[in-house]
Amino acid sequence: MGEEERMSELTHIDPQGNARMVEVGGKQPSDREAIAEGFIQLGQPAFDAITQGRVKKGDVLAIAQLAGIAAAKRTPDLIPLCHPVPLTGVKVQLEALPDLRVRAWARVRCTWVTGVEMEALTAVMAALLSVYDTVKAIDKAPQIGPVRLLEKRGGKSGEWLRAAQ
């Protein structure tokens, strides 16, 4: 595949290689949903502080949940070519896992002309960054990742599910 053919497949790049916001004006609204997840690996002291409620900044997972919800609503402020989307629902959950990780999960919904994958991914990233922020005085080396889209529904491409890994 030549460079010109590859560039034509990228919806946010015009044929000359310039960035563009995709035109969605002629599309019909449909129900959309995206689900994403991500992880942050912590050291034992930080993990224990979170699970035992000993972080001075407060309930780490509750704070991160709010950060994720707020971030989903602000996605077009962070991602330059992302359309503002009237979200109808954002759900963010966090859980401490036995292997010293915290899992963040987000489901975002709307009835609109474009999908909400970026909003779900942004919600997860912000939640994980919030966890990082609350434990950075305890743990100097938390590691975020992977962060990934799990599912999307709606629109022209229909349903997509990540294959089991």
Cβ–Cβ < 8 Å for 40, 134: no
Give every CB contact of residue 74 below 8 A, 6+ residues apart in sequence. Answer: 122
CA distance 137 to 46: 9
Among candidate residues 59, 77, 99, 133, the one labeled active-site is: 133
Characterize the bridge pairing of strands 101-112 and 160-161.
Answer: unpaired
14 is catalytic: no
Report, as residue numbers or ranges, the catalytic residues: 133
